């Protein structure tokens, strides 16, 4: 659980970095393209250079050819390898939905959809942990975590005319994150290393964003700004942090299950948001009772779900 909380905290720092980059570049798709490009390049080089990771890739390909991992009996199909498209969808949806519905409503919608779909994903056994029942305590924990996120942004939610299209896209993006975590965990089990899962994740996400950028260019004649006009070395840290998050997710989701992992990362995000607002505040953001209440609720939800899972696993 501690690693999952750490992954959530890193995600918040990554968002701060990518947000600063977005302000400079002025193009959300370009931010995603650089982030996924760095992740793809780094993981491909590591897998190509390190023998143990190459063997992991060979194990994954063997499981893919046979349709099943011989060691665990877990099935593996080609569509398990495209989990990164869920991450790409999330990045793209941020650029489209946030201007339409605002950051607060986007965050709440995405988290609610992620929690709800985590229950579904665990129930159907999409992740490597296998099928897990939808119990009352799991549903309550998911609801409390969602309420915690609502509370944390309560002072930011106004009453604008809500854009239904932007809201639907935020919900789909949040649901996609749960599926992404599940299939990446399955790939990691087949390869016996989370680095291969991370590589496949970034390759799929990078391909998806490249396709979106190409479509945008041909349909709207939008020209991307030249890297020489905006690139700064610190911008690569967003992509590097993304690698760490994906590796942790692929490594831990088998033990925790998708729901507990999601709740733990949300708790980590709330804690990191609190610390950043306190230590490194930005314009319009500060420590508030809303944020403190959100931290308590999301942390409690993650703790309850973890205790319930451990209690069930104890003979």
Range of the domain at 141: 2-313
Evaluate if residue 298 carries a pLDDT over 80.
Answer: no
In sequence order, the 6+-apart residues with CB closer than 8 A to the CB of 231 are none
Domain count across the chain: 1
Which residues are bridge partners to 75 per DSSP?
68
What is the average pLDDT score of the chain? Answer: 82
User: In this predicted model, which residue has the larger pLDDT, 262 or 94?
Assistant: 262
Cβ–Cβ under 8 Å, residues 264 and 230: no
- Per-residue confidence band for 189, with pLDDT thresholds at 50, 70 and 90: very high
Average pLDDT over residues 162-184: 87
DSSP notation for 56-113:
HHHHHHHHHHHTB-TTT--B--GGGGGTHHHHHHHHHHHHHHHHHH-HHHHHHHHHHH
User: By CB neighbour count within 10 A (0-12 exposed, 13-18 middle, 19+ buried), where does 296 fall?
Assistant: middle
Least confident of 5-19, 32-46, 91-105, 132-146: 91-105
Q: How far apart are CA 31 and CA 19, in angstroms?
A: 9
Non-local CB neighbours of 195 within 8 Å, separated by 6+ positions: 43, 46, 47, 50, 53, 56, 247
The Cα 301–Cα 140 span in angstroms is 8
Task: Give yes or no for residue 176 having a pLDDT over 70.
Answer: yes
d(C-alpha 150, C-alpha 143), whole Å: 11
Which whole-number Å values give the CA distances from 34 to 21, 206, 210, 237, in the listed order?
10, 9, 10, 10
Q: Report whether pLDDT(315) > 50.
A: no
Q: Which of 68, 65, 74, 90 is nearest to 14 (CA)?
A: 90
Residue 312: pLDDT band by 50, 70, 90 thresholds?
Answer: low
Contacts of residue 118, defined as CB under 8 A and 6 or more positions apart, other chains included, come to: 142, 178, 258, 259, 261, 262
pLDDT in tens, 196-248: 999 999 999 999 999 988 887 788 776 777 777 778 888 888 889 989 999 99
Q: How far apart are CA 306 and CA 5, in angstroms?
A: 12
- Torsions phi, psi of 68, nearest 5? -155, 140
The first and second tokens of residue 103, run together, are 């950051």
């Amino acid at each position: 659980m501690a690693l999952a909380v750490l992954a959530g905290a890193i995600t918040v720092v990554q968002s701060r970095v990518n947000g600063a980059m977005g302000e400079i570049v002025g193009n959300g798709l370009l931010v995603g393209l650089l982030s996924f490009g760095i992740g793809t390049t780094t993981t491909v080089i590591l897998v190509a250079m390190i023998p143990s990771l190459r063997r992991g890739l060979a194990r994954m390909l063997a499981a893919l050819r046979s349709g099943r991992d011989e060691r665990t009996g877990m099935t593996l199909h080609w569509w398990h390898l495209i989990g990164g498209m869920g991450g790409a969808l999330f990045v793209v949806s941020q650029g489209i939905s946030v201007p339409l519905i605002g950051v607060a409503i986007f965050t709440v919608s995405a988290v609610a959809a992620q929690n709800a779909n985590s229950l579904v994903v665990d129930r159907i056994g999409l992740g490597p942990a296998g099928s897990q029942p939808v119990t009352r305590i799991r549903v309550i924990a998911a609801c409390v975590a969602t309420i915690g996120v609502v509370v944390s942004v309560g002072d930011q939610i106004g009453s604008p005319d809500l854009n239904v299209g932007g809201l639907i896209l935020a919900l789909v993006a949040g649901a996609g994150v749960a599926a992404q975590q599940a299939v990446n965990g399955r790939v990691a089990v087949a390869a016996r290393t989370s680095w291969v899962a991370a590589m496949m994740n970034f390759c799929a996400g990078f391909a998806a964003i490249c396709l979106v950028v190409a479509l945008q260019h041909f349909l709207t004649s939008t020209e991307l700004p030249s890297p020489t006009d905006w690139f700064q070395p610190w911008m690569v840290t967003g992509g590097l942090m993304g690698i760490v998050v994906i590796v942790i997710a692929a490594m831990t989701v088998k033990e925790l299950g998708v729901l507990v992992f999601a709740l733990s990362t949300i708790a980590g995000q709330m804690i990191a948001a609190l610390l950043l607002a306190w230590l490194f505040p930005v314009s319009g953001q500060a420590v508030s009772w809303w944020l403190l209440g959100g931290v308590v609720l999301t942390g409690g939800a993650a703790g309850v779900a973890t205790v319930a899972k451990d209690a069930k696993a104890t003979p």
